[in-house]
Amino acid sequence: MKPNGRIEKPPQSRVPFAIRANIDGGARGNPGPAACAVVVRNEKSEVIAEWGEYIGIQTNNVAEYSGLLAALDYAVREKYHSLKVLSDSELLVQQMRGVYKVKNLQLKELFDRAQALVRKIEHFGIEYVPRESNREADRLVNKVLDNHARRR
């Protein structure tokens, strides 16, 4: 407690704050077997979480949105206040920024879910990156799809 009787908040550094997530999604065929992946880094660029998930027969765009939703779910669940998403999907990035309209009904549902999660995060940013800057997330998507193909 401070001399003036006010209670001091703990330093912000003790609270999870800023993370960056590379996301990707892909389908082999469009639609076809699809997967999404997320690679999460902390402020020091250290990987703190990564995963990929098979999502069934879907389009590439649904797979990309699934990656975004997975990253947003993680940030909200783990109580991070700041999330920057990096994606190689120009469509997804421009739709989330409000530059492109979302005309597809299935994508509109995913977009609305993403927007609802974004509202739960204090600071959110999304940025387009070239595919070569998104290799780790792309590698995870392909690993999931390869594993799924082997099991069939």
In the chain, the domains with their CATH numbers are: 15-130 (3.30.420.10)
**pTM, rounded to two decimals:** 0.88
Q: What angle do helix axes 60-77 and 105-118 make, rounded to 10 degrees? A: 20
pLDDT tens, residue by residue, 65-105: 999 999 999 999 999 999 999 999 999 999 999 999 999 99
For a pLDDT cut of 90, what percent of the chain falls above it? 87
Specify the range with the lowest mean pLDDT, choosing from 1-5, 114-118, 137-141. 1-5
Q: Which residues pair with 24 in a beta bridge?
A: 37
Q: Residue length, the chain?
A: 152
Judged by DSSP in three states, 147 sits in: helix
CA distance 55 to 79: 25
Six-digit token pair at 51?
A: 């995963």
Both tokens assigned to 50: 């990564």
Structural tokens at position 99:
């530059």
Whether pLDDT at 14 is above 70: no
Question: What DSSP assignment string belongs to 52-98?
Answer: EEEEEEE-HHHHHHHHHHHHHHHHHHTT-SEEEEEES-HHHHHHHTT
Query: What mean pLDDT is predicted for residues 23-30?
Result: 97
**Average pLDDT over the chain, rounded to an integer:** 91
Nearest to 30 by CA among 96, 104, 135: 104
